[in-house]
Structure 1
Amino acid sequence: MLGCMRTYSLDDVHETRKRRDSWWTVYFVDPAACRVALAVANRTSLTPNGLTVFSLVLGLVSAGCFAMNQLVAGACFFYLSFMIDCVDGKIARLKGTGTPFGLWLDYVGDRIRVVMCAGGLAYGQYALTGEVTYVVLGAAVAVLDLFRYVNAPQMKRVREAVREERQELEPLVPAPLVPDPMDPERLERVRRSEADRLPRGRSLPKRFNRFLARHRVRSHLISGIEFHAAVFVVAPLAGAWALIPLATASGAMLLVNEIFLVYRMWRFTRRHRVASSQESREHVLV
C-alpha cells in the first residue's frame, strides 16, 4: 500500500506552513518539523490524529520527567511533543485529511500537555525544595495558559458578530455618489496626499513589520508558544535557578500582550458602534 502513496517534496511541505507564525516556531521548530513531516508523509501512513495522540504522550512523558526533577529530559520531551504537534497540522494540510474532530483533539491535547507539565514542574521542585513558590508558579502558568486559550476564541466570536452586523446594515445604506475624477477639489486632495507620502519615507515600525512578514514571523514578541518555550524548554535547560525568573518575565509579557489584544478588540467594537450610529442617522435623513 505504501508504494501507491504520492511522493511529496520538501517544497510541498513548506507550502503547508502558516503564512505568519511565532518566531519560536519559525526559527526553532519548523526546520525540524518540516523534515519530519516529509518523512512521515512519504514513508508512513500515520494520520494527523495519530500524531496528535503521540504528541500528547510525549507531553505526558515530559511532565513525568519534570515531576522527577529531570529538567533537561523534561525540556527535550516537551520540545519533541510540540514539534510533533506542528507535524500533525502539516500532514493534515499536505494530504487534506484534517477533520473538525482533529482540531478539537489538537486543542484539548495542547491544554492537557501544558497543565500536566506545569503540575509536574511544580511538584518536582516543591518535593525537592519544599518551597510553596513553585506550587504557585505551576498554578499561575496553568491559569494564564487557560485564560489565553479561552479568551482568543471569544474575541474571535466578537469580531465575527460585528462583521455580521455590518453586513446586515450595508443594504440599508445608500450607495455613495461616484466623485468626478476631474473635480478640481478632488485633484488637489490627491496631489496633497501624494506630496505627503514622498518626503517622509518609511517609518521604522512599518519596515520592521514588512521584514517580519517576509520571514513569516508575527509582529508581537510573545504569544502562548513563546511562553511555553520559555517555561518548559529554555528555563529547564538553563537550570532550576531560571524557572521562576523566566516564567515570571514571560508570563508578564504574555499578560501585557493579551491586555493589548483586548484593548484592540474594544477599539474595534467602539469604531463599529460609532459607524453603525452614523449609518442609521444617514438612512433616516435620506
Structure 2
Amino acid sequence: MRTYSLDDVYATCKRRDSWWTVYFVDPVACRAALLVGNRTNITPNAITVFSLVLGMASAGCLAAGQLAAGAVLFYLSFMVDCVDGKIARLKGTGTPFGLWLDFMGDRIRELCCATGLAYGQYAATGNVDFIVLGVAVVVLDLFRYVNAPQMKRVRDAIREANAARTPPPPGPHEPLPHQSFSHSPVPHQLGALTVRSHPVAAQPSRPPRSRKSRRRLLRRFNKALARRRVRTHLISGIEFHAAVFVIAPLLGQAALIPVTSVISVLFVANEIFLIYRMWLFTRSYSAVPKPEKSREHAPIGGSPNV
C-alpha cells in the first residue's frame, strides 16, 4: 500500500474554499486524512456515515440542552465530512453514490441540529423566539441549496446559447471581413482599384479614476484571498453553520439569538450580492432568439408552439 505524505493530502484540498474550512478545519482534517489513508482501508462512504452519526449525536446534545457538547460534536462531524472527500481524491475511490450520500448527509445533519437546538432551548426556557430561530435557520439553508443550482443553470444556459450563436471562423478560401473590397457603400475609385472606406470606431469612455482604483483594490484583495485558498464570498453556508452550531453554542445560551441574527443578516446580504452578480452576468449577454420551428411539423389549423 502506498504511503502518502502531508503534501499529498494538501494537494487534494479544494483550490478555493471557505475561510472557516481553510483556517479552522483543514489543518485538522488533513492530518486525520493522512492517518486514515496510511493506516486503514476505510472507504470514503464509511467516513461519511460516521460523520452523519456524529451529526446526529450533536443534534441529540443540542436537544438535551448540552450546548458545548453539541458544538464540539458538530465541529467533529464537519471535520470528518471533510476527510471523506480528501480520502476519495487521494486514493481515487470516489463514487457517484458517495457524492449523493455526502450531500444528503450534510442536509440531514443541518436539519436535525437546527431542530434539536430550537427544541432544546424552547424546552428549557419556554421562549418562542428559539422556535423562530430554528425555522429561520432551516429556511435560509433551504433557500441556499435551492438557489445555488438554479443560478448555475442560468449561467450555463447563457454560456451555451451565446456559444451556439457565435459564427464559425471563415474557411481557408473565404476572405476575412476586413479584406472585402467589393460592394463598398461609398467607394473611392482610383483607376481599377476600389477601396472600401471604414468608419472610425468610437473610443470607449474611460471609467473615473475612483472606479478604477476601487477595481484595482478589489483585484488585489481577490488575489490575496486566492493565495490563501479563500473564496471571495466570505459569508457562505459553511460560515453560517459554524456560527449557529459551533460559535454561538460555545458562547452560551445568551449568545444564540444575537449571533444567529447577525450571521443571518450577513448571509442574506451575501446571497443578495450573488444574485446581483448573476443579474449583471445576464445583462452582459444579449438575448438569443429562439429558432423558428419549421412549418412542415406544425399541426394543421393550430399554432406550432401549442
Q: TM-score, normalised by structure 1?
A: 0.84
**In structure 2, what residue type is equivalent to 1:234?**
I
User: What is the aligned counterpart of 2:66 among 55, 67, 70?
Assistant: 70
Distance 1:100 1:133 in 2: 40
Q: What is the alpha-carbon distance in structure 2 between the residues aligned to residue 201 and residue 163 of structure 1? A: 28
Question: CA separation in 2, counterparts of 1:134 and 1:232?
Answer: 13
Q: 2:2 — aligned with what?
A: 6
SS at match of 1:211: helix
Query: What letter is aligned with 1:248?
Result: S
Q: Using a 3 Å threshold, how does the CA distance of structure 1 residues 12 and 267 change in structure 2: closer, same or farther?
A: same
Once the two structures are TM-superposed, the CA of residue 178 in structure 1 deviates from its matched residue by 7.5
The aligned residue for residue 236 of structure 2 is: 223
Give matches, 1:1-286, under 5 Å.
5-171=1-167, 203-273=216-286, 276=288
Q: 1:211 corresponds to which letter in structure 2? A: A
State the 1:264 CA deviation. 1.3
Using the TM superposition, give the Cα deviation of residue 201 of structure 1 relative to its aligned residue in structure 2, in angstroms. 11
C-alpha displacement of 1:96: 1.2
Task: Work out the CA distance in 2 between the residues paired with 1:56 and 1:212.
Answer: 31
Aligned length in residues: 259
Write the distance in 2 (CA, Å) between the matches of 1:174 and 1:154.
Answer: 36
- Structure 1 residues 6, 144: CA separation in 2 closer, same or farther (over 3 Å shift)? same
Q: For the aligned residues, what is the CA RMSD?
A: 2.5
The CA distance in 1 between the partners of 2:265 and 2:216, in whole Å, is 28
User: What percent of counterpart residues are identical?
Assistant: 67
Task: Tell me, in whole angstroms, the C-alpha distance in 1 between the residues paired with 2:25 and 2:117.
Answer: 22
**Deviation by residue 1:79-101 (Cα, 9 ceiling, x = unmatched):** 00000010011111111111111
SS of residue in 2 equivalent to 1:171: coil
Deviations 1:121-171 (A, max 9, x none): 001100000001001100110111111011111111111111111221113
Q: Which one has the bigger helix percentage? A: 1
* Structure (1 or 2) with the larger CA radius of gyration: 2
CA distance in 2, matches of 1:168, 1:136: 48
Tell me the CA shift for residue 232 of structure 1: 0.3
Q: Distance in 1 between matches of 2:107 and 2:280?
A: 29
Whole-angstrom CA distance in 2 between matches of 1:178 and 1:213 = 41
Runs of 5+ consecutive residues of structure 1 not aligned to the other structure: 180-184, 278-286
* Structure 1 pair 202–249 and aligned structure 2 pair: CA distance change class (3 A): closer
Unaligned 5+ segments in structure 2 are 180-199, 290-306
- Label 1:259 to 1:201 Cα distance change in 2 as closer, same or farther (>3 A): closer
**TM-aligned CA deviation for residue 104 of structure 1:** 1.1
Q: Please give the alpha-carbon distance, in whole angstroms, between the structure 1 residues aligned to 2:214 and 2:130.
A: 50
